[in-house]
Amino acid sequence: MAHSKMKTSGSKKRNVPNSIIPYIGGKYGLVSHIIPLIEWCAEAYELTGLIEGAAGGARIMLNTSPELFEQRILNDLDLSLAKLYAAISDEDLNYDLIMRLNELEYSKEVFEAAVLDRKLDAELADRRIYEGTSNIVDAAAYTFICAHQSFASNMKSYAREKETDFYDGYFHKINSLYTFQPLLEGVTVTHGSCLDLVDQYYERFDYFMYIDMPYPEKTMRGGNHYKYNCTHEMLEELTNKLVGTCMKVALSSYPCDIYDRLCEQHGWQRLFLKMKNVSMGGTANLKGAECLYINFEIPFELEDQITSGYLW
């Protein structure tokens, strides 16, 4: 699949993880574990490019210093989500997005309209029909609405109970969107399959790729949590494509046989990060062992830092 590029337009790093939208399976609680690894790798191997192959909440791109890489690529299979990041990265579009969101209420009617718009755009995008999809500002606004007004950030069901408690905070988040534009300035936002990006940059010694695709089905609890889930066959294909790549790669997952093959047969390493609370559609009191599969060696001191949860 050819990636459709959207012209986008990065700066101070803060100790509190930057986050534009809540996102199921997002890496908000793991930013302090992963970012030091990327920073060390960029300097140790003199890397020039960073790819976040399955953006989701885009926590890695939003929390990596924009000055660290010359080229940065943010990709997602969800067209409307990609448009959200493209809009935020551009100063003029960001302003238009803030104005559009302020015009729309926090209400069930607005939410349901946003869900429908995203559904129709996704149906067209899945057929590679882009004419007739929502313009970038509307698509971005509806994605923001679905993320912030939904129950447990599932982008499907309306969270009526949040209307009163979160109303003021919701519009504060809208009016703070301008602060994220410098963080994404210069980023190339693409829409397409993460697997295609692996093919495209397979021989780039100077690139780092972070992959956070939906986890293997048998490691997940509950039903379908994502708009685009990954079958066993898709993750097997990803694993096969990663064998021998010249890129430095970090792959997030729960421990699984599919990715363990990279360690057993191809010299990869599996790092345990932490036991992480699992929030899947409101499910509580569940934990999963978050791991990072990497295809490069790191010093013991760094491994100890990222597996012990040292905060940068």
Average pLDDT over residues 20-33: 84
Question: Which of helix, strand or coil describes residue 292?
Answer: strand
Q: Name the token pair of 10.
A: 């990065």
The reported pLDDT for the residue numbered 251 is 96
Which one is predicted more confidently, 230 or 148? 148
Cα gap 253→273, rounded to integer Å: 10
Residue of higher predicted confidence among 163 and 20 = 20
Give the pair of three-digit tokens for residue 51.
């790819």
**pLDDT above 90 for 223:** no
Residue 72 has pLDDT above 80, yes or no: yes
The CA distance from 116 to 77, in Å, is 18
Which residue bears the tokens 């940068």? 312
Residue 290: strand pairing partners = 274
Report the SS3 class of residue 250: strand
Residue range 77-95, pLDDT digits in tens: 999 999 999 999 999 999 9
CB 205 within 8 A of CB 44: no
| Burial zone of 224 (CB within 10 Å; 0-12 exposed, 13-18 middle, 19+ buried) | middle
* Tokens (6 digits) for 101: 């969101």
Using DSSP's 3-state secondary structure scheme, residue 277 falls into strand
Read off the pLDDT of each residue in 211-225 and give the average, rounded to a whole number. Answer: 63
pLDDT at 4: 54
Mean pLDDT (whole number) for 264-288: 73
Q: Give the tens place of pLDDT for each residue, 33-71.
A: 999 999 999 999 999 999 999 999 999 999 999 999 999
Check residue 51 and give its pLDDT. Answer: 98
Distances (CA, A) of 161 to 158, 172, 287: 9, 18, 26
Is the per-residue pLDDT at 235 higher than 70?
yes
Provide, rounded to the nearest whole percent, the portion of the chain with pLDDT above 90: 72
Question: Please, what sign has the CA dihedral across residues 128, 281, 51, 219?
Answer: negative
Give percent of the chain with pLDDT exceeding 70. 84
Say what the pLDDT of residue 10 is.
41
* pLDDT of 26 strictly over 70: no
Name the least confident of 24-28, 59-63, 222-226, 286-290. Answer: 222-226
Q: How far is CA 97 from the centre of its chain?
A: 20
| Nearest residue to 182 via CA among 94, 269, 252 | 94
More confident residue, 167 or 252: 252
Averaged pLDDT for residues 170-198? 97
For range 266-275, the mean pLDDT: 92
Question: What one-character-per-residue DSSP string does 18-82 give?
Answer: P-SS--TT--GGGHHHHHHHHHHHHHHTT--EEEESS-TT-HHHHHS-GGG-SEEEEEES-HHHH
| Nearest-angstrom CA–CA distance, 13 and 16 | 9
